Structure 1
Amino acid sequence: MSLVRGLYSLAMWAAQPLLRRKLARRGRTEPGYLAHIEERFGHYGTPPSSGWVWVHAVSLGETRAAGLLIEALRAEWAQRGWPFRLLLTHGTATGRAEGQRLLRDGDLQVWQPWDTPAAVGRFLSHFQPVLGLLMETEVWPNLVAGCQAHGVPLALANARLNERSLAAAQRLSALSGPAYRGFRAVWAQTEDDAQRLRRLGAPVQSVLGNVKFDARPEPQQQALGQALARRLQAERGQRVVLLASSREGEEALWLAALRQSPPLPGVQWLLVPRHPQRFDAVATQCQAAGLSVLRRSQWPAEVWADGGPLPPTADLWLGDSLGEMTLYYSLSQVALLGGSFEPLGGQNLIEAAACGCPVLMGPHTFNFADAAALSLAAGAGWRVADMAAALQGLHGLLAQPEDLRTATEAARAFAAAHRGAAGRTARAAAELLA
């Protein structure tokens, strides 16, 4: 072990009590963080086992992408006549909750081991995976080194790296360099990602595209959202505009812009915070600004029945549910892309495009730079300077329904044109194992 990784390992070991306190604090609002805490330190309630195909997806977005890849892996393994046993790991409660839906009989789900040599060693000895696939950006020095020591072929799948993360990794090159070089393979989303990863020494084998393009809208949610949108326009003359996956600080920007902007006639605003632990705080913030707020959880069940009532009117509908983004995007004429109006990198605009919902995006989309550029080129979205400009743009768009219809079709075509990365990655993973 190098001196630098030794110091890093010592720091991670010393931080374990802080991690326990953080989990206890997060667990007050998200009880999932209180479950199976000892797994994070490499202690498990199941007997030792082996033969696992291990996929690590840290949080909600990565887990949704992992679900697409796992489906393709199952198909690839079945075609080759190989047994498939999934070991799925996460770092967040929302990721683990989403991951439960991906499990089949014989699969297993545990927490990602804290990145100390001891916890990583216990994890690898206990499960003895035959292959490890880390999703997108999950590069942990001791985890990579542990896989090398245990002979576990490890790949970084759907890999991305923006300029900001590259600069940070270069500043810590004595630690990050061996970690990136320690992968058996790296499969990048775009050629730009590949070039940045290679600058850190990563063994980029190929550019396979973004697995998230393989997501298909959930059919029932899509049908319900579209039907409700038609009824709102026919019966109330309303169109829904969505602030999608908003992050902390963006609601304040939206409220300020709303106060200064002329009213948008016939618009029903829908706001969906990115993190569920913020639902209550966002509702309170919007009510304090003088808006009436109706939460999705307060809609009567009869809304979805034929001839049922529409949701009650309010200045703002708050989407306080998980797993319903297809419903929200299908209900909306256009969306403001959360995470892009503060320097947070933007949220996943591919999901919106697949539902035929064009997006207005702010200046900060570095987490999805390639997808954002492709979306703009395809006519599936528009770039604006800030939240005030987004609301100004909405006035023009809503006054031109033909332009919105064109953008809706462009969004669907854009999403469909880039599918196939999940299958390509599954084949690459099989070849790596073979």
Structure 2
Amino acid sequence: MTSADHRNGRQLHLNAFLMNAGHHDAAWRHPRSRPQDATELRYWQDLVRTAERGRLDSVFLADGLALWGKVRHNALGGFEPLTLLSALAAVTEHVGLIATVSTTFNEPFHTARKFASLDHISGGRAGWNIVTSGSVDEARNFNRDEHLEHRARYERAAEFLEVATKLWDSWEDDARILDREAGVYADTDKVRPIEHRGEHFQVRGPLNVPRSPQGYPLLVQAGSSEDGKEFAARHAEAVFTAQQTLADGQAFYRDLKSRLAAYGRSADELLVLPGICPVIGGTEAEAQALLQELTDLQVVEYGLAQLSGMLGVDLTGLPLDGPLPDLPEERDINGNKSRFTLVAELGRGEGLTLRQLVARLGGGRGHRVYAGTPEQIADQLQEWFEQGAADGFNIMPPILPGGLEDFVDQVVPILQRRGLFRTEYTGRTLREHYGLPRPANRLAVTT
């Protein structure tokens, strides 16, 4: 392939989505993985240094507020992400640090405080993946028998983010005077309460952390339902998404970008980063063999439980070599609506049996899995980037640490040679990596 986009200066963005042993649900059983190190700081330090060596924009840690899946059959559970990212900030200088935090089971004040702290600690590299939480298991850890209704979760999320941004703006950039002689540390005319009173929150403010290097952390969102897309168009600066085909990726990209104008935003103010799980081999046959090796290591019981959760239907006891049963409509799903639809359409569209669908979802849980040589992987990324399906990618290594090392050492240099990816960092903050502006303080007094 030849590159067209690099001639006008457009380059793609790469985020490394890190999970304990890797993204394939059988990764922990593979000899190249190190599941025993999932709670060792040095392991994560090595991973994030690898990402920085590859000049990646950022690393991302997902999170949930329950023990997901069947821990009997997968390396689940681990560190709280903001705590871990604070430790990783100390051993890196450039790579961005993105964490998931739920708006359903947290409060705006301490969330704003934690991200402002991480942004200061890292010198401006914090990012927040804003989620509303999708599982009843999480609700049951927070005084609820059932989950909040989907739309209500997004309404709470919008107000939550409004409060958080006000808190980040409650200190002006130059509020700290540090006048030792006069005994004045801060100009209190530039540190002000926010006096927020809304449907979900009452917050006086101000925040007890001065305004951070980026102003706000990079705001990321990952829901692709109608509510999710509207929330992203209004608030998000990057979107993690899942599509299986180029055509689906192009349709999502056009749809999301077309919604921005209604909120006074331009198309380049929101980056679309589809997930891809790259299974890399020296030859195409070696890559396919690795994928088959991982499939053979799957515990079907685990995959079936995961699939049941995605579809909102208990599949236990159904014939593994039979088709999907009758499923509810998306409107009746109170969890992750967009993932339900993607998985249902994948199973029905290709006529997959339950066993085949479990295998297909093993590497990416609905994100695209692609097995090939480094050149073939690079070709796929370039095609989606140049054909209007992506501004970059959420890289989901099937096995860690080896899958990330393979991507950084074998695929990134190809993208660099094609002029599609940076060879050196040119900025210090995560916003600079993504080419996004530092937000103005909306509460600042103008004179």
Q: TM-score, structure 1 length as denominator?
A: 0.34
Is the helix fraction higher in 1 or 2?
1
TM-score of the superposed pair, with normalisation by structure 2: 0.33
* Larger RCO of the pair (alpha carbons < 8 Å, separation 6+): 2
